[in-house]
Structure 1
Amino acid sequence: MRVGFIGLGIMGLPMAGHIAAAGHVLFAHSRSGVPPRLLDAGATACASPADVARQADAIILMLPDTPDVEAVLFGTDGVADGLAAGRMVIDMSSISPLATREFAQRIEAAGCAFVDAPVSGGEVGAKSASLTIMAGGTDDGFARAEPLLRLMGRTITHVGPCGAGQTAKVANQIIVALTIEAVAEALVFAAKAGADPARVREALMGGFASSRVLEVHGQRMIDRAFEPGFRIGLHQKDLELALSGARQLGVSLPNTASCQSLFNACIAASGRDWDHSALVRALERLAAHELS
């Protein structure tokens, strides 16, 4: 298949690499340029999103936020300018479910399929092609997209119509944020009480409190390994999607709001590009005590 890929950041670059490695003809575009290693793998660099859409049968997006997706799809020289009927757009960004439904309607009006397929698993999952992918779209659209999604992910679920994938991703980000906060709070409490947080983490890994977040991000907190995997600024964006959606739905998300406040405190301390496990730093400041 002739596949386009737009957005070659921490996640997008390895994901595009899996597409190329599977033998598909890859057309790529990124604001910062197409990295040499992707060109060496056979990708063709395109000058604009519209150029990608003219060349490819399926166009995959992996972009930071809702305005970025809107600009790439519908801005000057955007994907919509290059689409022909029968093509497919797969948006793997994490953006607003409501905006996704609108984008899908506009793409479908051009005679093309639209699938929203946000991911969970971070940089590690992107590199190992083990991402969890939550997809929204018609049955036919999902069936067309699934072979490509299988090249990048391990657990792939068709959640429902367009926008349902993004709704599932927002729910995922609520759970991840609250679990990071719980792990950070527990380890700060343990350290302040005089216990070794590394040994506390080890003990908890054998009990009901065990989780992937405790395993991976608990270790990051102890090791002070805050180079991103997944940036605080992006998780803050995802929680804002949750909170804005909750306002529209009349739903209260009190603990999500609390986590967002802690992310805001990290960003105020120049931590936008820290890994989201660095939320522990905000709690350490409140406790006047660091884990190590």
Structure 2
Amino acid sequence: MTDATTTRVGWIGTGRMGAAMAARLADAGVDVTAWNRTIAKAEPLKEHGASLAESLGALRDRDVVFTMVSTASVLEKVLFGDDGLLTGDELPGVVIDSSTVSVESSAEVRRACAERGVAYLAAPVSGNPKVARAGALSLVVSGDRETYDQVAPLLERLGRSVTYVGEGETARLVKIAHNLMLGVVTQTLAEITVLAEKGGVQRHAFLEFLNDSVMGSAFTRYKSPAFVHLDYTPTFTPILLRKDFDLGLTAARALDVPMPVTALTAQLIQASVGTGRVDEDFAVLLDLQAAASGLRLEPEDVAVDDGLGRPS
């Protein structure tokens, strides 16, 4: 089993999520060197003790390299494109990808890594940057078991739970299924919240009751501040959620699984994209539901427990 504090880690992709995860490792005393296409986005990691790389090639001598990027095409580019991570003579031992990509794309990357003698793990995560900073991420991992056992101490520093689900791309299907539920639950939460408010119940009161009931969850609790304050600072955008629903419905067709509720939710997510509010958080589904219901929402100035150890 790898000693996390003596493992030299590279990190590719320091957007909102990647930066929060890389900071967790650096704060735990792991030797982290990060690269991002826009280097300024990686600068804050220096405050956590991480180093910055000016090129992908500078990460080739790392023991383990994490990738956290937006799409499969970006993943392929940073690994195999011009001066990509895996295009030199010296190569890292393991690549761990935490992006959300399709099963097929991940399998292609796995094959290309194997051809170069590089171990590859799929390790997508559940949570947003706020959750990552609180150390409350959940990770699901698939690939070679021996490789997983070697790097598990690193993965365990990223969140509160790590679940190994088998060989190949099984973690991808788990994460896609997870994000389908994310969208369906958020749409349902928007519908019932609007129903309650239009019936005369304040949003914060309804959500407080729901979160303390058997129907509440970690997700409904940490989404409640956005709903109460109408704060749509992006953690996950409608565009990214639409991508995941496309992946999920494609997988459902391939496996002959009917998903009528998911399909309807996909149309509602598409409607949110159609409004042009693509740079806000996907919690804007609440606004769309209110508009369809003839309800004008106003922010409520009430402190709300997000379940992550602090009110907001």
Going from structure 1 to structure 2, the CA distance change for 1:147 and 1:206 (only over 3 Å counts) comes to closer
1:30 aligns with 2:36: yes
In structure 1, what residue type is equivalent to 2:126?
S
Q: CA 1:130/1:245 → structure 2, altered by over 3 Å: closer, same or farther?
A: same
Distance 1:37 1:14 in 2: 10
| Greater displacement, 168-177 / 212-221 | 212-221
Is 1:39 matched with 2:46?
yes
The residue number in structure 2 matching 1:192 is 198
1:58 Cα deviation after fit: 0.6
Residue 85 (structure 1) shift: 6.0
How far apart, in 2, do the equivalents of 1:151 and 1:269 lie? 39
Comparing 109-118 and 188-197, the one that deviates more: 188-197
Q: Per-residue displacement from partner, 1:184-243 (whole Å, max 9, x unpaired)?
A: 100111222233232222333333322233322234212101112222222222111111
Partner SS state of residue 14, structure 1: helix
The verdict on how the C-alpha distance between 1:90 and 1:101 changes in structure 2, with shifts beyond 3 A counting, is same
Query: What's 2:119 paired with?
Result: 113
2:96 alignment partner in structure 1: 90
Counterpart of 1:62 (choices 62, 68, 73) is 68
Which residue of 2 is the match for residue 259 of structure 1? 265
- In the comparison of the two structures, how many residue pairs are matched? 291
After TM superposition, the structure 1 = structure 2 runs for residues 1-292 of structure 1, keeping only pairs within 5 Å, are 1-34=7-40, 35-52=42-59, 54-82=60-88, 84=90, 87-292=93-298
Q: Deviations 1:14-58 (Å, cap 9, x if unpaired)?
A: 211222233333221101105333234443322332332x22111
Q: Larger deviation: 236-245 or 215-224?
A: 215-224
8 Å CA contact 2:25–2:154 kept in 1: the answer is yes
Identity between Structure 1 and Structure 2 (%): 29
Alignment TM-score, normalising by the size of structure 1: 0.92
What TM-score do the two structures reach when normalised by structure 2?
0.87
**Unpaired runs of at least 5, structure 1:** none
Moved more, 228-237 or 4-13: 228-237
Give the Cα–Cα distance (whole angstroms) in 1 for the partners of residues 72 and 259 of structure 2: 21
- Contact residue 61 and residue 90 of structure 2 kept, 8 A: no
For residue 172 of structure 1, report the CA deviation from its aligned partner: 0.8
1:158 deviates by 0.3
User: Aligned to 2:87, what secondary structure does the other structure show?
Assistant: helix
For the Cα contact (< 8 Å) 1:6–1:60, is it kept in 2? yes
Using the TM superposition, give the Cα deviation of residue 122 of structure 1 relative to its aligned residue in structure 2, in angstroms. 0.8
Shift in alpha-carbon separation, 1:83–1:144, aligned structure 2, 3 A: farther
Pair 247,199 (structure 1): closer, same or farther in 2 beyond 3 Å: same
Using the alignment, how far apart are the partners of 2:26 and 2:219 within structure 1? 31
